[in-house]
């Protein structure tokens, strides 16, 4: 009964967080991001399908654009969810009626739901667009791996940003973090794996299951499949969980 009551209470808190976002246009921002990715892939895919209709073109292209776009979007989502109290300076007032750790969890779940919906929409819409452009359908299992990998990295970024938001007095540092990660994501796919391992936004590409080589003699692209680097995904999950638990413990000591 106690666990059910805690679950209902947390559900109410998450619903309250979504109600606070009604006039912040955050859902519109997420939809706009998916639309931008579709426009980008539509433009690039229409040229690439002439060379090859291999579905792995879709699986290779998405991590490239995601490494630039999604770190910034994850930052915007987390900072917007937390910025409501920062803008109105209501943290102290809110913490007198609500536990800091419960508030942290509610905001984290709100971010997770928004990002999960966005990633689901992006993967589904892009794979469907790929078929419309003439690419082979992406196997469901490989689409699921892409979805899990993408969402995992998004949650990693948003967890760190939420922790920064929760303890910073302004939103400059969280936004700067997102901009830096997006900038690094632009170049991360071209760095050696030993270096890119230390760049959070590089994991969109590091978790890919596709290899690509260019045959200069024939001018063709040779696609290949590689095993999903599960250990890298687990590394992201462990770091995310550690950041969440450390932030949760610190937030529980936050004074009203």
The answer to whether residues 130 and 58 touch, using CB atoms and an 8 Å cutoff, is yes
Cα–Cα distance measured from residue 247 to residue 216, given in angstroms and rounded to the nearest whole number: 50
Could you tell me if 62 and 143 are in contact, meaning their C-beta atoms sit under 8 angstroms apart?
no
b/e sequence 88-97, b meaning 16+ C-beta within 10 Å? eeebeeebee
CB 229 within 8 A of CB 205: no
What is the model's pTM? Answer: 0.90
Q: Count CB atoms within 10 A of the CB of residue 245.
A: 10
Q: What is the pLDDT of residue 99?
A: 73
β-bridge mates for residue 7, sequence order: none
Reading the chain (256 residues) residue by residue, the pLDDT tens digits are 555 556 567 888 888 888 888 888 899 999 999 999 999 999 998 888 878 888 999 999 999 999 999 999 999 999 888 875 555 555 554 554 567 778 888 889 999 999 999 999 999 999 999 999 999 999 999 999 999 999 999 999 999 988 888 777 667 888 888 899 998 888 887 788 788 888 999 999 999 999 888 776 766 788 889 999 999 999 999 999 999 998 887 766 655 5
* CA count, 13 A, side-chain hemisphere, 161: 34
Distance between CA atoms of 156 and 165, rounded to whole angstroms?
A: 14
Query: Residue 169's closest CA among 237, 92, 235, 98?
Result: 92
Query: How far separated are the first and last CA of the chain, in Å rounded?
Result: 29
Q: Report which secondary-structure segment, H or E, holds 225.
A: strand 220-225
Q: How far apart are CA 200 and CA 198, in angstroms?
A: 6
Question: How many residues would you count in the chain?
Answer: 256
Domain ranges across the chain: 2-252
């Amino acid at each position: 009964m106690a666990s059910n009551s805690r679950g209902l209470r947390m559900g109410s808190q998450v619903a309250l967080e979504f109600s606070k976002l009604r006039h912040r246009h955050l859902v519109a921002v997420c939809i706009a991001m998916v639309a931008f990715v579709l426009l980008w892939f539509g433009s690039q895919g229409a040229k690439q399908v002439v060379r090859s209709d291999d579905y792995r073109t879709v699986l290779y292209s998405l991590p490239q654009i995601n490494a630039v776009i999604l770190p910034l979007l994850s930052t915007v989502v987390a900072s917007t969810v937390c910025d409501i109290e920062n803008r109105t300076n209501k943290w102290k007032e809110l913490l007198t009626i609500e536990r800091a750790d419960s508030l942290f969890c509610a905001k984290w779940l709100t971010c997770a739901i928004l990002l999960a919906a966005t990633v689901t929409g992006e993967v589904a819409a892009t794979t469907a667009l790929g078929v419309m452009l003439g690419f082979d359908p992406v196997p469901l299992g490989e689409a699921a791996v892409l979805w899990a990998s993408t969402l995992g990295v998004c949650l990693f970024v948003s967890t760190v940003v939420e922790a920064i938001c929760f303890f910073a007095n302004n939103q400059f540092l969280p936004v700067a973090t997102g901009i830096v990660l997006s900038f690094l994501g632009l170049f991360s796919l071209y760095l050696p794996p030993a270096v890119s391992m230390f760049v959070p936004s590089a994991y969109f590409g590091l978790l890919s299951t596709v290899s690509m080589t260019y045959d200069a003699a024939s001018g063709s692209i040779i696609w290949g499949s590689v095993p999903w680097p599960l250990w890298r995904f687990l590394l992201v999950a462990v770091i995310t969980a550690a950041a969440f638990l450390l932030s949760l413990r610190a937030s529980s000591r936050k004074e009203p």
